[in-house]
Amino acid sequence: MYVSMKSMLDKANRNDYAVLAINCFNLESAYATILAAEEKNAPIIIDLLMEHLQKHIRAEYVLPSVIKMAETAKVDVAINLDHGKSKEYVLKSIAAGFSSVMIDAAEYGYSKNVQITKEIVKAASMCKVSVEAEMGNMGTVSGEKLTQANMYTDPEKAIKFIQETNVTALAISFGSSHGIMPENFVPKFDFSIIEKIKKATHIPLVLHGGSGCGTKNIKKAISLGINKVNVGSDVMKAQADSIFEQQENERNREYVDLMTNTIFAAKEMVQSYIEISGSTNQAAIR
C-alpha cells in the first residue's frame, strides 16, 4: 500500500522501533527493497535522492513505476524525495506524486532553513504529503570528510526548529556520515543529542548515513528516539559486489542475469537492516 511517511513513522514512534529507508536509484533496487520488506512483513521507505534523479534517470521516468510497486505491495511503502536541496524541485516533487519529501536547507543557516521548511510544510500539507527536514550537517566518507563534533545538531536549535516548522520528522547529526565506512571503523555517536530533542518534542527523529554505523549504535539510537534509519551505501555495495563476483566467475554472463542477481544481494542486505531496525512484523500493527 502506498502511504506517506507520517502514518508509518507515527506508529514506529508509538511502538519504539524504526522504519528503514533505502536509497534506490533504479527499478531493480526499489523492487529488491519492497520484496525484502514483504518477506519481513515490515513497513519500508523508498528514498529517491534528488542528486541521483538529476544525474541518472529523471523522476518522471522512475517515479510512476515505483509508485506502481508501492500501490501493489503487501506492506506499507512510502516514497520519499531524499535531500531535496532546491525548494522548486521539492515543490515539483510534491506535485509529481511523492508521498513524502525531505527539504534539506540546513546549509542556509537557521533562519533561512526555518523559512524554506515552513513554505514546504504548508504546500505539502495541502496534498497530505509528509515532510522531513534537517538540522546540523552530515559529513561524507568520501575524501575522509567525516562528520565532526562541530557539525553536530544543536539540540536547543532543533527543538525550536521543530516547534516553528511543524515538520513530520527531523534528521539530526550526531556522529554518522554518508558513504561506506572504512574497514573496522565504527563512528562514535553522541546519544545525548537524541535524548534532549526527543524528550522535548516527541516527534520521529531520523538517522542519516546508517551504513556501517554498527548494530549496537543503531539499536541504541532507536531506543532513544530514532524512528527512521537511512541506508544506501551498504545496499549499493552489495549490488556492486554481486556484479564483481559474477563477472569474476563468468565474464560473459548475460546482463539480465547480472541485474537479477543484484536484486537478491540487495534484498539480503535490506533484510539485515530491517532486523536491526526492529520493524520486522510491524506492518500489521495499526
Give the catalytic positions in this structure. Answer: 82
| CA dist., res. 207 & res. 174, Å (int) | 8
Strands 19-23 vs 226-231: parallel, antiparallel or unpaired: parallel
Measured in residues, the chain has a length of: 286
Q: Which of 176, 152, 171, 147 is nearest to 83 (CA)?
A: 171
Classify residue 188 by its DSSP letter: P
d(CA 222, CA 246) in angstroms, rounded, equals 36
Between the two ends of the chain, the Cα-to-Cα distance in Å is 13
Q: Which of 234, 191, 184, 230 is nearest to 209 (CA)?
A: 230
Q: For residue 228, give the H/E element and its range.
A: strand 226-231
- Residues 90/119, Cβ–Cβ less than 8 Å: no
| Placement of cell 575522509 in the chain | 144
Amino acid at 283: A
Sign of CA dihedral 79, 224, 171, 217: negative
CB 153 within 8 A of CB 135: yes
Q: Which residues contact 154 (CB under 8 A, 6 or more apart)?
A: 135, 136
CB proximity list for 60: less than 8 A, separation 6 or greater: 96
